[in-house]
Amino acid sequence: MDLRRLRALQAVVDTGSVTAAADQVGYTPSAVSQHITALERETGAVLFERAGRGIRPTDAGRLLAAHARDLFSKVAEAEAAIAALQSGNIGTLRVVSFPTAGASLIPPALATVRRELPRLDVALRVAERDDSVPLLRQGEVDVVVTVEDFALGDSPGDGLAWVHLLDDRYRLVLPRNHRLAGRRLIDLAELAEDNWVETMCGVGCCHEAASKAFRNAGFEPHCAVEADEYWPAQGFVAAGLGVAMIPTLGLGVLHDSVVVRRLRRDNEPLRHVWAATRPALLGRAPVQTMLRALQQAAADHERAMRDGPRAR
């Protein structure tokens, strides 16, 4: 049954008049009468009968009007629920990020989302690009933070909505007693004879960015020890087992016995950090809020790395 016809029926039952019902629902009296006639044809029941100069509902008319009230109540509940979901007053925002973003960008972004949308639940997961982007495409998560091989200004044309967060630059991590520790800017080629701590967590385009820098510097690093994460890598460097190259998102906490130095820009590897969602979700307040919060967290991180006392 057409909801407009049911609304006209309910208005006639409530007001006892076609003219009054038309004023209530914003139709013409003729349109109200046509809706009632169509309902009687569809239901096979007489819904109103003459009563003097007016009309009154039959039992069938009163019964259908009662069900119409229930229907409109449910419609109003559905509209309110959709509005609450879109605004972030209910529901869950599902976010997945790669590990170092999960440690550096997600916490301040989540704090912003909590302040602005305190009733929203946020489910967080950690995954690398090969797992997170398929989860987004399959509808299992709403926002991903990942590293991609395309830079700002490039168009991936893959049907997702991409938001650039930052270009995460790599830094050299040296023992405090290293011969180059007193320098602020270092040429990667100067470390060709050093032992290196290889960070096995740098996969995909992260690994390719570092490998390209070594090739451009004209040497293949001698790996003395392997570390699964960036923090253990700092421990190996502090112990004097080698030097390491770590992106700034992995340097949120520094070991006391290491120093961080910049590479020359002409051979400084970087990785492009992006957030992505599906275009259908861009209108939802939780997604908009998270994307804005991630952009702010990325800007704050870049400012801290540029202006921080350790000159990272």
Domains of the chain: 3-87 (1.10.10.10), 92-165+272-307 (3.40.190.10), 166-270 (3.40.190.10)
Can you give the pLDDT of all 312 residues of the chain as single tens digits?
788 999 999 999 999 889 999 998 899 999 999 999 999 999 999 999 988 878 899 999 999 999 998 998 888 878 877 877 777 777 899 999 998 898 899 999 999 999 999 999 999 999 988 899 999 999 999 999 999 888 777 777 789 999 999 999 999 999 999 999 999 999 999 999 999 999 876 555 567 888 899 999 999 999 999 998 898 999 999 999 999 999 999 998 899 999 999 999 888 999 999 999 999 999 899 999 999 999 999 999 999 887 654 444
Distance CA 307, CA 311 (A): 6
CA 311, 164, 142, 92 torsion-angle sign: positive
pTM of the model: 0.74
CA 59 to chain centre: 53
∠ CA 238-239-241, nearest 5°, is: 105
Give the 3-state secondary structure of residue 245. Answer: strand
Interval 274-287: pLDDT, tens: 999 999 999 899 99
Distance CA 52, CA 14 (A): 18
In 3D, which of 26, 30, 33, 25 has the Cα closest to residue 7? 25
State how beta strands 222-227 and 195-199 pair: parallel
